[in-house]
Structure 1
Amino acid sequence: MGGINNKLCDGVDGVQIVIWVVVSSDLRVEKIQDDIAEKLGLHGEEWDWKDKRHKAYDIQARMKNKKFVLLLDNIWRKVNLEEIGIPFPTRENGCKVVFTTRSREVCGYMGVDDPMEVQCLTDSAAWDLFKKKSDHSR
């Protein structure tokens, strides 16, 4: 996901906002909202006092006229975008929601027609990648 995030941050296809949120198994809406708010500059003491509904309204207001990509990493069940405050992505607004999951069932709940399965690297490919990346860090 990090590579995708970096590519999109470079302004691919006129994207104005790129947000990457790690969701994991606990899926707490307010934590997702707080992570998004931090990327949008909405965090702070005033933000902390707001309830979920008001946070959703603020996120919606900040993102509604922007072309965005939201990356939801490691979801375990359906994520309600409206509850979070994410404007619904359409072909017309050019916005996208990308997510990773280990469950085909979750893909169905999220309305994915054509999921992309990513295979794990073989041991030798993983080792080669590790060696290649560790050489660049010196």
Structure 2
Amino acid sequence: MISRIAGLAAAVATISTLTSGTAAAAPQPACPASITRPCVWQQPSTEGVVGAARLDTADHTRPTLLRVEVRIQRAWGRPWETVASSTLVASTGTLSLTTPAVRTDYRTIVCATGGPADAPELHSTNCTL
């Protein structure tokens, strides 16, 4: 049990570190220009929470993947469950994407994964609480 709590604490610390500098509940956060990490945020709406992300692409001839997920946690220590997601593959300068709205009373986190579509080992994930 202690190792499980320690693992959870480490996961929360990692997520907190990854999300420093991102803005929650902002329509367009001021994200540092990055071609390696997606900028991710939550948008409240009348229908619930919408996950949103943006990623600048480095190589406009190479397809880039951007995936955004809204995840909930039903109880402390339980795994996060994806309840809404969207995926886009394109070769444009900046990719922007949102998920369908989710109405929930559970803890919510939004995560975005992005990188070259043909090289999953180069993908980077960024989350915000």
Give 1 or 2 for the bigger CA radius of gyration.
1
Structure 2-normalised TM-score?
Answer: 0.26
Higher relative contact order (CA 8 A, sep 6+): 2
Structure 1-normalised TM-score?
Answer: 0.25
Q: Which has the higher helix share?
A: 1
Q: Which has the higher strand share?
A: 2
